[in-house]
Amino acid sequence: MNVVALAGGVGGAKLASGLSRAVDAEQLTVIVNTADDFTLYGLQISPDLDTVMYTLAGLANPDTGWGMHGDTWQAIDMLKNYGMEPWFHLGDRDLATHLLRTQWIDEGIPLSVVTRQLARRLKVTSTILPMSDDPVHTLVDSDRGPLPFQEYFVRYQWQPVVQALVFEGASEAEPAPTMLRRLETADTIVICPSNPYLSIDPILSLRGVHDVLLNATAPIIAVSPIVGGEAVKGPAAKLMKELGIEASAVEVARHYAEFLNGFVLDSRDAALRPQIEAMGMGVLVTNTIMQSLDDRARLACEVISFADQLRPEKLGGCKLDA
Ligand code: GDP
């Protein structure tokens, strides 16, 4: 069973790692947002790709969700000795990833190939596909003026009030090689509980993606990142309010409604089920909070079984149920 997941960083990576256990890991493709990518100290940094890669490799820091488990901060400390004020967290081991990525990109190797090479060396057998080999940059229009994404997110800790989001370069960027075909031929498509506006929309904004999703034969399931009117982590709910959208799982379902077949709603929001069903999609109500590795696998398993219920010909459900 070929599963394609759309993901940003921490929320996306957690479900992706569950999916890599619920089906054969080789049958999972994770299409990852790269509109958060940026250059710092001359290094090409792809935070969401790295979060997904470290998570699937079992190397992620379980406390933060990003960065590497057991990493140290000597390079950052040395930058401070030089009088710099480093606001982006670059662990020493993590730096090696950025050094290699930057070298390979400078040699002319496309980001999708660089990512494949890095992931293979970390023994990740799922495919991690950056959404594009071309640069796309999220620009956050805010009450402090236009901010590059990482300044908004990390430097200012998502405190500026957002007025609009612009994905610079998205209309010229090509979707990564094989991405549209993988979506067309997928058996199940999962939109992870990533930030819909900051992590998933950049992927959806690429040429052809929207049409492929509208015409997909596979069931498309989204998992809500909004639980009880709040984001589990990060700015999703605050951002929704600032954009004039009610912070509710209902609005997340509405955001994706035109191509969704199923929506996974947290048990705490069970009362919202009829409103979402009225949009013409199936609803699965379950615990969507992923604290442990087992939580991730259990939720992924439920998503895979839910998708199977939504398709006319059954392909079999989650591997862990067998
Ligand atoms: P980022 O790029 O690191 O911010 O990561 P994502 O966009 O992939 O994920 C952020 C979203 O994940 C937030 O909106 C959170 O509410 C959501 N999220 C994080 N952990 C969980 C979880 O365990 N369950 C659910 N349902 N959502 C989660």
DSSP-assigned states of every residue in 136-176: -EEEEEETTEEEEHHIIIIISTT-SPEEEEEEETTTTPPBP
3-state secondary structure of 215: coil
Ligand 1 near 150 CB (within 6 A) = no
Average pLDDT over residues 282-292: 97
pLDDT tens for 86-129 read: 999 899 999 999 999 999 999 999 999 999 999 999 999 999 99
What phi and psi values does residue 226 have, to the nearest 5 degrees? -105, 125
pLDDT value of residue 312: 86
The predicted structure's pLDDT at residue 297: 97
DSSP-derived letter for residue 68 is: B
Alpha-carbon span 68 to 320, nearest angstrom: 27
- Number of Cβ atoms within 10 Å of the Cβ of 78: 11
Output Rg (C-alpha) for the chain, integer angstroms: 19
231 lines ligand 1 (CB under 6 A): yes
Q: What is the mean pLDDT of residues 1-20?
A: 97
The span from the CA of 175 to the CA of 105, in Å, is 17
Q: Over range 18-25, report the average pLDDT.
A: 97
Question: Using a 6 Å cutoff on CB, does residue 227 contact ligand 1?
Answer: yes
Give 314's pLDDT tier (boundaries 50, 70, 90).
confident
Tell me which residue has its CA closest to atom 19 in ligand 1: 11
Mean pLDDT over 17-45 rounds to: 97
Return d(Cα 318, Cα 309) in angstroms, integer.
12
Indicate if the pLDDT at residue 12 is higher than 90.
Answer: yes
Q: Render pLDDT for 213-237 as a digit per residue (tens, 0 to 9).
A: 999 999 999 999 999 999 999 999 9
Q: Please calculate the CA angle 118-123-126 and round it to the nearest 5 degrees.
A: 85
* Domain 3-134+171-321 class, CATH top level: alpha beta
Pairing of strands 3-7, 188-191: parallel
Nearest CA to 65 out of 241, 293, 318 is that of 293
Local confidence band at 317 (pLDDT 50, 70, 90 cut-offs):
confident
Q: Residue 41: which residues within 8 A CB-CB, separation 6 or more?
A: none
Q: What is the pLDDT of residue 294?
A: 96
| Ligand 1 centre distance from Cα of residue 66 (Å) | 12
Is residue 308's pLDDT more than 80? yes
Ligand 1 neighbourhood includes 67 CB (under 6 angstroms): no
Tokens of 31: 């299409």
pTM value surpassing 0.95: yes
Q: For position 38, what pLDDT does the model report? A: 97
Domains of the chain by residue range: 3-134+171-321, 137-166
Q: Pick from 195, 223, 256, 264 the residue to mutate for probing ligand 1's pocket: most ligand atoms within 8 Å of its CB.
A: 195
| pLDDT for position 313 | 87
Query: Which residue is it, tokens 């990003």?
Result: 66
The pick from 19, 37, 232 for probing ligand 1's pocket by mutation, whose C-beta has the most ligand atoms within 8 angstroms, reads 232
Q: Which atom of ligand 1 is nearest to the CA of 237?
A: 14
- Ligand 1 atom at minimum distance from 227 CA: 26
Nearest CA to ligand 1 atom 4: 9
107 CA to centre of ligand 1 in angstroms: 34
Q: Residue 21 has what pLDDT?
A: 97
Could you tell me the distance, in angstroms and rounded to a whole number, from the CA of residue 193 to the centre of ligand 1? 5
- % of the chain surpassing 90 pLDDT: 95
- Give 226 Cα–ligand 1 centroid separation in angstroms: 8
321 pLDDT higher than 90? no
Question: Is the minimum distance from the CB of 48 to ligand 1 under 6 angstroms?
Answer: yes
Distance 10 CA to ligand 1 centre (A): 6
